[in-house]
A and B are shown apart, each in its own frame.
Chain A
Amino acid sequence: MAPFDLVSLLGVTGSYFIYLAIGFAFGFILESSGFGDSRQLAAQFYFRELRVVKVMFTAIVVAMILIFWSTALGLLDYDQIWVSPTYLWPGIAGGLIMGIGFIIGGYCPGTSLVSAATLKLDGIFFLLGNITGMVIFGETAGLINTFWNSGYFGTFTLPELLHLETGIVVVLVTCLALGMFAGFEWIRGLIYGRAK
């Protein structure tokens, strides 16, 4: 039953090859979907171009369905998967900062890596800014320790929040994603006319 301990199964070197293969596939899809181009990423916010948002949310929905189907069939132990604990207030603050940074800079931390991989200057500088920000945060995190640990809810997921069965939440999230795609297309049509 997954998740598998790759190191004990394949050894350290063998596991590195798996990481390499997954990283290659991930990078290939990101770059070919336009995640490495700040103009395409910024265009999502103005509904001019929707490829990135569609790829991202389709990936989320497919991963969600695969995870919970695998769990239902006994192929995966969901409880062994790391689900980040919720720290509500710092989460909201961090989301705001990242959102502003994304729309101003054209990248999020991950996409700046994709961009830097193709040696785009804006991506490289964004990445350098990321690293500098991380170092400064690391050195000053102690000053905001109380806030940083506030709003702790442990591992808190949508089924617990909504008091619904996991399967129902999966359906709702799928409908939300599909509805969002249709809604965004409609808005794009309104603003820019029908897509060619």
Chain B
Amino acid sequence: MAAFGTGAGRPLQGRGGSGFRFTLYAFLAVVVMYLDQRGHYLEQVRYVLQAAAYPIQLLVSSPPAAWRWLKQTLQTREALQAENARLRGEARDLELRSMRYEALARENGELRALKEALPPVAERWLPAEIVTVQVNGLRQQLLLNRGASNGVFKGQAVLDDKGLIGQTTHVGPWSAEVILITDPEHAVPVRIERTGLRTIAVGAGDSGSLALPYVPSNADIVAGDLLVSSGLGGVFPAGYPVARVTEVHRDAVQPLAQVRAMPLAHVDTDSEVMLVWFRADHPAAPVTPQPAARPEALGQLKSGNPAMQPQPAVHVPDSTPAAGGAAASGAAAPPAPQAGTTAAPPVAREGQPQ
């Protein structure tokens, strides 16, 4: 047995052998990358690999979890009593508020000439614990301890009690990866609650802030405005709080304003988040293009029917903030049909000239 580090290892058979093996593995890696990136053929492989990775992730996160558990167990009686009193007060407060909410919802339903108040858009909640947090300047992701065995699916909304957190990207059997709304690769369609202007909030790259890159300079937006989800994009339902605008910078020569916003959810202090299932038939549910209608609409586009072509944004005659917002958000998502109507093929709806 040759001792390592003494240079007594036998030489390799020749350089050709390792060169061939390298070519083989490099080719394999390129094929894997192509399949994963282009076709998403590797969902099953990822599922298995994620299951294999989960024990290690669990092990790695166990020291902080054990510390939390220890701290909770050793809390004094007084601290627990104080917390209990505070929570009871909060619960009473929330009950009072939800009483009012129910009355308002009923009134709203009557105003919309519906027979009765609609059920809430969220159908089911599942609390999930954060196993590991990878929050740095480059990637902002979480790992949750719920997976496909709990019914979690890819592209599911994740919230906490303050607002949106993100959506699931890869789902394993017992775990799910979540991309945060502050990740530079994540974009969430939002609406300014005060004005109704629709736009898109993307992660700014530095942790804990969002950028709104598609807001025109003349748009009515000020620091302190609340951003709520607009229901477009097919992941988040309409009306959930997302972020609060912190700064608006307008430059006379720039067509777009530079807007920053601070997310309302506090991922760094949460240890538990909520996975949510939504009622698909609810007016506030996420708007998804119907899968059957899409190829058809694309086919009509290809055939060159001018009535079906989406009109360029510059042809929109009026320049109200709402129209500007719709034009701005049109780059990534089709302008929304009004909440309450059914989701029709978006291209056909957009095609009607004004």
Decide if A and B are genuine partners: no
Query: Which chain B residues have a beta carbon within 8 Å of chain A's beta carbons?
Result: none
Query: Which chain A residues have a beta carbon within 8 Å of chain B's beta carbons?
Result: none
